[in-house]
Every structure is written in C-alpha cells, then in structure tokens.
A and B are shown apart, each in its own frame.
Chain A
Amino acid sequence: MHIPDGFLPLWESALFWIISLIFVAKSIMWAKNNLDEKSVPLFAALAAGIFAIQAMNMPIPWGTSGHMVGSALTAIVFDSPWAGILMLTLVLIVQGVFFADGGILAMGANIFNMGVVGAFVGYYVFKALKKSNVALASFLGGWSATFIAAIICAIELAIGGVFPIDKGLMYMGLYHFFIGIIEGIITAIVVAYLKSAKPELLKSLNTQ
C-alpha cells in the first residue's frame, strides 16, 4: 500500500507530511511517558519481524499480492495506537530511504495511512472486542486496520486526481479485503504467541 512519489501532487504530499509529523511528535511523547525499559527489546524484535514479513508479498486472487502492515499488531502489544504510529514511522523510513519502497515525498501520506489510520483502527477494534475473544479481536483488528487504511489511501489518491473515486475505492477495497485477512491472521498468531509465552509483555491484556 506504499504510495510512490508521482502519484500525489506536491501540495497533498506536503499536507500529509505536516499531519503525520504532528502524530509522530505525539508518538514520541507517548514513548517518553510509557515505553519502559523492559519493552525496548520487544519493540526492536517486532520492528525486525514486521520489516521482514512486510517485504514478503503474499499472493491473493486476481494476480495481486499483499503484505503485512503491522501497526495494529504493535498497538495491541503495547496497548496504545501511538506505539503503532512510532513503529510504522521507523519501518517506512527504512523502506523508503534504503529500498525505494514508497516515495520520500509521499512518506507523510504513507505514515498517515499505514501508521496513524492502521494503528487507531486496529487498536480500537481490538479493544472493543477483546473481552469476548482475544484471537478474534486480534484478527478483526488487523483486518480492519488494513481495509480502512486502503479506503483512506484510495480517497487521498482520488483527491490527488490520479484515481477515480468510485473505481479507486472499489479495487482498493476489494484487494485489501483479502490482504487484510493475511494481516488479521498474522496479528492473531503473534498476539496468541505472546499471550501464552510472554503474557507480562502483552500490555493490552494486562489493563482494563
């Protein structure tokens, strides 16, 4: 879902950089107030895992592929959407700077879609459902994060004039409906693993 440079007009790229930097600044404040020393290795381990699995595109129908995003997972593990935003900002910097995955000018929009939208949607869907079933809540958190981020992405590209709104929404929605299933499954697997192996690190299950 990485928007390359050239898809968005310059003014829109600049606008989303400004919006995203406000969220990134808030995520830095979150870390300064909430990220404890014990969680640092887990944050780095998650970063490595998300980076590696993001780069491995998995096939979905219609000759299309999809990849992990990981902001919902990070937000669930650290019990805060701000953690997901900080994580995706770092992942997108490495992807954009070293691997030309997503444009540098479009990075603000990519941080907004995959980081901000993904983390908030994923976190609050999980939070709303976790009492009934943690695995299902994790799956739906991951799925909805990807799906809604793709819808927002389609709207941005329509505002920028490169996608028609109706077809853009239809195809982005259709493809990411399926890509979200991959996101949901991986999110549920990692949450289930941490719940059984390292429950003390899974912050969102330790607070009400």
Chain B
Amino acid sequence: MPVFNPVLGHINKKEMLRYAGMRQSEDLPHAVIAAAAEDALVYARPAGAWEIYDYQAPALKIPGGDYLPQSLKLCAHLRGAVKVAVLAVSVGGDIETRVNQLFAAGEYTKALLLDAAADSAVEQAADSLCAFVASSVRALGLGAGRRFSPGYGDWDIKEQPRILELSGAARIGLGATKSFMLAPRKSITAALGLGFSMLPGKAGDACLYCENAGCRLRRAKNDVEDV
C-alpha cells in the first residue's frame, strides 16, 4: 500500500476563512489570518496512503473478499469507474494539540483560525493525493472522478474501519474511534473512481451530497468551484 505525503506549500486562505465561518476577510487583521496560516504549515504533518482496486459495480474486487459499499449514492457516483482508489489522508495530531493549547491560553481567535486552517490543509492534502493517484493511472487512459467520503449522502460512517483498512491508513498512523471518528481528527478517507470517462472533481463537491441543509458551511451549487 503506497504512501504519498503531500506538500502543502501554502494554506488556501479563502477556504480557511470559510471554515472559520467568515464570508470575507476585510474585518480581520491580515496579520492574524497570515499567522494562523503559517501556524498550520508549521504544525501540519500531511500524510496520505492509498490502494487501487478493480471495480465491477457495485463491488470493489478485493483478494480474499470483495467489498460492497452500502451506499446507492456512492454506487451512482462511481458510474463508469473500472477501478477505485481508496484513500486516507491526514495532517496529523500536532495541529490539534496546538489548537487546544491556544484555546487553553485564551488565544481563542488564533485557535479558531488554526482549526479552520487545518480543515483547509487536510482538504488541500486530499486534493493533492487525488491528483497524484490520478496521474499514476493516466498512462492507462484512466481519468479520476470526484472523491466521495463516508458520511456523504447515504454512505454510513460505520464503514470507516473497512475504508481505513483498504486504504492502508495504518501506515500513516490514522485510525478511528469506537464511534467511527477519524483520529487524528483532521483527516479524510475517500473513494476515488477511476475510469475512461470520469469527470474530474472540484472543490466543494461534498456539499452536493450532504443532506445537512442548515450547515453554515454549505455552498450553493454555483459556489462549487476550483479553489
């Protein structure tokens, strides 16, 4: 099971502010935003693991026992895929520890923004990992679709342990709690369809599958964009 640790290079500040619940940055000092982004680069330890499996809808062909995801939405999402990459990506636990330290020290804004920067960082890392996996199969004529995670639509997060196992997440120190939360928290698992005519994903796609209509982070359909 291969490992790829994405290089972040920068933190997408626009996304970071969105995760922090801000629609614009005009009212926060630039230095505060920049400091949180810098902190995220210092404390993040981006790491990713993945494995590619043959796919014959609706099952991933796994030696020793196929995996049949219990999700109609995922099945629809993987239409046209001939292979599926199962991915796990994390920015590690140090950044979370730092958020807690900041909160305990009364640095609430820094903590809030660093937490948001970590959200942006893990999304960026997941995008990098998807791009890397996509490039690895390009010579086969395959393209990658959009990533789809447990918790989207009807894909129950109870399937998280199997996804972690299939992605080789243990290699990057990623596991789940008894209630199926990823630990470290700033982590993502996903399935990525690989096929001859898959349409590439865009940032913000997740909102298209999420049923939490009242979410403060929810994007309108026309807000889904390359960021």
The answer on A and B forming one complex is: no
B-side residues, CB < 8 A to A, are: none
